[in-house]
Amino acid sequence: MKCFHLGSGKTTLLNTIAGRVQSTSGEITINGQYFNKHLRRRLGYVLQDDVFMPSLTLYETLYFTAMIRIAESVSVKDKQTRIDDIVKALDLKKCLHTVIGDFFVRGLSGGEKKRANIACEFLTDPDIMLIDEPTSGLDSTTAHNLMTQLKDYATQYNKTIIATIHQPSSQVYHLFSKLLLLMDGKVAYFGIASDALNYFERIGMTCAIHFNPADFLLALLSRDDETSKKILEEADRNK
Protein backbone atom coordinates (compact mmCIF):
# COMPACT_ATOMS: atom_id res chain seq x y z
CA MET A 1 0.00 0.00 0.00
CA LYS A 2 1.06 3.55 -0.67
CA CYS A 3 -0.30 6.30 1.61
CA PHE A 4 0.01 9.92 0.57
CA HIS A 5 -1.29 13.43 0.90
CA LEU A 6 -2.30 15.47 -2.12
CA GLY A 7 0.63 16.45 -4.33
CA SER A 8 2.99 13.86 -2.87
CA GLY A 9 3.79 12.29 -6.26
CA LYS A 10 1.83 9.05 -6.04
CA THR A 11 0.44 9.16 -9.60
CA THR A 12 3.86 10.01 -11.01
CA LEU A 13 5.34 7.03 -9.17
CA LEU A 14 2.67 4.65 -10.45
CA ASN A 15 3.07 5.95 -14.01
CA THR A 16 6.83 5.53 -13.76
CA ILE A 17 6.54 1.96 -12.50
CA ALA A 18 4.08 1.21 -15.30
CA GLY A 19 6.47 2.64 -17.89
CA ARG A 20 4.07 5.40 -18.89
CA VAL A 21 6.56 8.20 -18.24
CA GLN A 22 10.29 8.27 -18.80
CA SER A 23 12.37 8.18 -15.63
CA THR A 24 15.26 10.63 -15.28
CA SER A 25 17.35 8.58 -12.86
CA GLY A 26 17.42 5.25 -11.09
CA GLU A 27 16.38 1.81 -12.29
CA ILE A 28 13.20 -0.27 -12.17
CA THR A 29 13.68 -3.98 -11.56
CA ILE A 30 11.31 -6.89 -10.93
CA ASN A 31 12.86 -9.76 -8.99
CA GLY A 32 16.29 -8.47 -9.98
CA GLN A 33 15.43 -8.17 -13.69
CA TYR A 34 15.44 -4.82 -15.46
CA PHE A 35 11.98 -3.67 -16.45
CA ASN A 36 11.46 -4.21 -20.19
CA LYS A 37 8.65 -4.79 -22.70
CA HIS A 38 8.42 -8.47 -21.75
CA LEU A 39 8.04 -7.71 -18.04
CA ARG A 40 5.62 -4.88 -18.80
CA ARG A 41 3.16 -7.46 -20.14
CA ARG A 42 3.10 -9.00 -16.65
CA LEU A 43 1.89 -5.74 -15.13
CA GLY A 44 -1.69 -4.45 -14.91
CA TYR A 45 -2.72 -0.87 -14.18
CA VAL A 46 -6.15 0.21 -12.93
CA LEU A 47 -6.64 3.96 -13.22
CA GLN A 48 -8.78 5.91 -10.79
CA ASP A 49 -11.37 6.80 -13.43
CA ASP A 50 -13.53 4.06 -14.92
CA VAL A 51 -13.53 3.69 -18.73
CA PHE A 52 -16.52 1.66 -19.91
CA MET A 53 -19.16 1.50 -22.63
CA PRO A 54 -22.22 2.33 -20.50
CA SER A 55 -24.70 0.43 -22.71
CA LEU A 56 -22.96 -2.93 -22.27
CA THR A 57 -23.71 -5.31 -19.41
CA LEU A 58 -20.90 -6.29 -17.08
CA TYR A 59 -20.70 -9.74 -18.68
CA GLU A 60 -20.51 -8.24 -22.18
CA THR A 61 -17.74 -5.93 -20.97
CA LEU A 62 -15.73 -8.78 -19.46
CA TYR A 63 -16.28 -11.02 -22.50
CA PHE A 64 -15.23 -8.28 -24.91
CA THR A 65 -12.15 -7.52 -22.81
CA ALA A 66 -11.20 -11.20 -22.64
CA MET A 67 -11.52 -11.63 -26.40
CA ILE A 68 -9.28 -8.69 -27.28
CA ARG A 69 -6.72 -8.80 -24.45
CA ILE A 70 -6.13 -12.49 -23.76
CA ALA A 71 -3.87 -14.21 -26.31
CA GLU A 72 -5.53 -15.82 -29.33
CA SER A 73 -3.77 -19.08 -28.44
CA VAL A 74 -6.05 -19.35 -25.39
CA SER A 75 -9.33 -21.11 -26.21
CA VAL A 76 -12.70 -19.40 -25.81
CA LYS A 77 -13.56 -22.03 -23.19
CA ASP A 78 -10.48 -21.14 -21.13
CA LYS A 79 -11.25 -17.45 -21.50
CA GLN A 80 -14.74 -18.08 -20.18
CA THR A 81 -13.28 -20.00 -17.24
CA ARG A 82 -11.05 -17.01 -16.53
CA ILE A 83 -14.08 -14.71 -16.54
CA ASP A 84 -15.93 -17.03 -14.15
CA ASP A 85 -12.95 -17.14 -11.75
CA ILE A 86 -12.63 -13.35 -11.65
CA VAL A 87 -16.38 -12.85 -11.20
CA LYS A 88 -16.29 -15.21 -8.23
CA ALA A 89 -13.17 -13.64 -6.69
CA LEU A 90 -14.65 -10.13 -6.82
CA ASP A 91 -18.22 -11.15 -5.96
CA LEU A 92 -19.71 -9.79 -9.18
CA LYS A 93 -22.13 -12.60 -10.04
CA LYS A 94 -25.29 -10.83 -8.90
CA CYS A 95 -24.64 -7.85 -11.20
CA LEU A 96 -23.20 -9.79 -14.14
CA HIS A 97 -26.11 -8.98 -16.44
CA THR A 98 -26.59 -5.38 -15.28
CA VAL A 99 -25.62 -2.60 -17.69
CA ILE A 100 -22.60 -0.53 -16.72
CA GLY A 101 -24.65 2.66 -16.87
CA ASP A 102 -23.68 6.31 -16.62
CA PHE A 103 -25.16 9.65 -15.52
CA PHE A 104 -28.19 9.07 -17.73
CA VAL A 105 -28.73 5.32 -17.43
CA ARG A 106 -28.89 3.60 -14.07
CA GLY A 107 -26.53 0.65 -13.85
CA LEU A 108 -23.78 -0.65 -11.60
CA SER A 109 -23.18 0.99 -8.22
CA GLY A 110 -19.95 2.84 -7.51
CA GLY A 111 -18.47 -0.14 -5.71
CA GLU A 112 -19.49 -2.52 -8.48
CA LYS A 113 -17.88 -0.28 -11.10
CA LYS A 114 -14.65 -0.25 -9.10
CA ARG A 115 -14.63 -4.05 -8.99
CA ALA A 116 -15.57 -4.24 -12.68
CA ASN A 117 -12.64 -2.01 -13.59
CA ILE A 118 -10.29 -4.21 -11.57
CA ALA A 119 -11.83 -7.37 -13.05
CA CYS A 120 -10.99 -6.23 -16.58
CA GLU A 121 -7.30 -5.99 -15.63
CA PHE A 122 -7.35 -9.27 -13.70
CA LEU A 123 -8.48 -11.05 -16.88
CA THR A 124 -4.98 -10.75 -18.33
CA ASP A 125 -3.58 -12.48 -15.21
CA PRO A 126 -0.85 -9.91 -14.41
CA ASP A 127 1.77 -10.80 -11.80
CA ILE A 128 1.80 -7.22 -10.53
CA MET A 129 -1.26 -5.00 -10.32
CA LEU A 130 -1.10 -1.23 -9.85
CA ILE A 131 -4.37 0.27 -8.59
CA ASP A 132 -4.81 4.02 -8.20
CA GLU A 133 -7.11 4.83 -5.27
CA PRO A 134 -9.43 1.79 -5.44
CA THR A 135 -11.46 3.02 -2.45
CA SER A 136 -12.04 6.57 -3.71
CA GLY A 137 -15.72 7.51 -3.47
CA LEU A 138 -16.69 4.36 -1.54
CA ASP A 139 -18.19 4.18 1.94
CA SER A 140 -16.06 2.52 4.64
CA THR A 141 -17.86 -0.84 4.50
CA THR A 142 -17.68 -1.12 0.70
CA ALA A 143 -14.03 -0.03 0.75
CA HIS A 144 -13.14 -2.65 3.37
CA ASN A 145 -14.95 -5.39 1.45
CA LEU A 146 -13.15 -4.47 -1.78
CA MET A 147 -9.71 -4.39 -0.17
CA THR A 148 -10.40 -7.72 1.56
CA GLN A 149 -11.27 -9.25 -1.82
CA LEU A 150 -8.06 -7.87 -3.33
CA LYS A 151 -5.97 -9.27 -0.50
CA ASP A 152 -7.64 -12.67 -0.78
CA TYR A 153 -7.03 -12.68 -4.54
CA ALA A 154 -3.37 -11.75 -4.12
CA THR A 155 -2.90 -14.48 -1.53
CA GLN A 156 -4.76 -17.18 -3.47
CA TYR A 157 -3.03 -16.53 -6.81
CA ASN A 158 0.34 -15.36 -5.45
CA LYS A 159 0.10 -11.88 -6.97
CA THR A 160 1.51 -8.51 -5.97
CA ILE A 161 -0.90 -5.59 -5.64
CA ILE A 162 0.35 -2.02 -5.24
CA ALA A 163 -2.47 0.35 -4.32
CA THR A 164 -2.53 4.03 -3.49
CA ILE A 165 -4.87 4.88 -0.63
CA HIS A 166 -6.01 8.27 0.66
CA GLN A 167 -7.46 8.31 4.19
CA PRO A 168 -8.06 4.56 4.67
CA SER A 169 -10.01 3.29 7.67
CA SER A 170 -8.10 1.45 10.38
CA GLN A 171 -9.63 -1.82 9.13
CA VAL A 172 -8.32 -1.23 5.61
CA TYR A 173 -4.92 -0.13 6.94
CA HIS A 174 -4.43 -3.41 8.80
CA LEU A 175 -5.02 -5.45 5.62
CA PHE A 176 -1.72 -4.42 4.05
CA SER A 177 1.58 -6.22 4.39
CA LYS A 178 3.96 -3.43 3.31
CA LEU A 179 3.59 0.32 3.47
CA LEU A 180 5.16 3.18 1.53
CA LEU A 181 4.62 6.71 2.83
CA LEU A 182 5.37 9.60 0.49
CA MET A 183 6.08 13.18 1.47
CA ASP A 184 6.55 15.69 -1.35
CA GLY A 185 7.79 12.97 -3.69
CA LYS A 186 10.23 11.54 -1.14
CA VAL A 187 10.08 8.32 0.86
CA ALA A 188 9.04 8.95 4.47
CA TYR A 189 8.71 5.27 5.35
CA PHE A 190 8.93 1.95 3.56
CA GLY A 191 8.58 -1.35 5.35
CA ILE A 192 6.20 -3.73 7.05
CA ALA A 193 2.89 -1.95 7.67
CA SER A 194 2.47 -3.32 11.20
CA ASP A 195 5.91 -1.93 12.15
CA ALA A 196 5.20 1.65 11.07
CA LEU A 197 3.81 2.92 14.38
CA ASN A 198 6.73 1.41 16.33
CA TYR A 199 9.16 3.02 13.89
CA PHE A 200 7.69 6.50 14.38
CA GLU A 201 7.45 6.00 18.13
CA ARG A 202 11.21 5.31 18.20
CA ILE A 203 11.83 8.71 16.63
CA GLY A 204 9.56 10.50 19.09
CA MET A 205 6.21 10.47 17.28
CA THR A 206 3.63 8.41 19.14
CA CYS A 207 0.15 7.53 17.95
CA ALA A 208 -2.55 7.89 20.60
CA ILE A 209 -4.31 4.73 21.77
CA HIS A 210 -7.49 3.93 19.80
CA PHE A 211 -6.53 6.48 17.13
CA ASN A 212 -6.70 5.43 13.47
CA PRO A 213 -3.05 4.71 12.57
CA ALA A 214 -3.62 5.80 8.97
CA ASP A 215 -4.95 9.20 10.08
CA PHE A 216 -1.95 9.60 12.38
CA LEU A 217 0.53 8.78 9.62
CA LEU A 218 -1.19 11.01 7.06
CA ALA A 219 -1.16 13.88 9.56
CA LEU A 220 2.61 13.45 9.88
CA LEU A 221 2.98 13.59 6.09
CA SER A 222 1.09 16.88 6.01
CA ARG A 223 3.43 18.65 8.43
CA ASP A 224 5.55 21.46 7.08
CA ASP A 225 8.03 22.07 9.88
CA GLU A 226 10.97 20.47 11.67
CA THR A 227 8.92 17.30 12.09
CA SER A 228 8.78 16.65 8.35
CA LYS A 229 12.51 17.35 8.07
CA LYS A 230 13.21 14.84 10.83
CA ILE A 231 11.01 12.21 9.17
CA LEU A 232 12.85 12.49 5.86
CA GLU A 233 16.28 12.47 7.55
CA GLU A 234 15.39 9.29 9.45
CA ALA A 235 14.08 7.69 6.26
CA ASP A 236 17.38 8.46 4.50
CA ARG A 237 19.35 6.88 7.34
CA ASN A 238 17.23 3.74 7.21
CA LYS A 239 17.52 3.10 3.47
Distance CA 138, CA 156 (A): 25
Distance CA 94, CA 191 (A): 38
Distance CA 166, CA 134 (A): 10
Burial status of residue 103 (CB atoms within 10 A of its CB: 0-12, 13-18, 19 or more)? exposed
Of 1-10, 132-141, 165-174, 204-213, the poorest mean pLDDT is in: 1-10
CATH top-level class for 2-176? alpha beta
Comparing 136 with 117, the larger pLDDT belongs to 117
In the chain, what percentage of residues exceed pLDDT 90? 53
pTM, two decimals, is 0.86
Confidence (pLDDT) at 84:
97
Using one digit for the tens of pLDDT, what is the confidence trace for 160-183?
999 988 778 889 999 999 999 988
Comparing 135 with 30, the larger pLDDT belongs to 135
Predicted confidence (pLDDT) at residue 26 exceeds the cutoff of 80 = no
Average pLDDT score over residue span 116-138 = 92
Map residue 32 onto helix, strand or coil: coil
- The number of angstroms, rounded, from the C-alpha of 157 to the middle of its chain's C-alpha atoms is 16
Average pLDDT of every residue of the chain = 88
Confidence (pLDDT) at 5:
53
Confidence (pLDDT) at 2:
52
Domain extent listing, the chain: 2-176
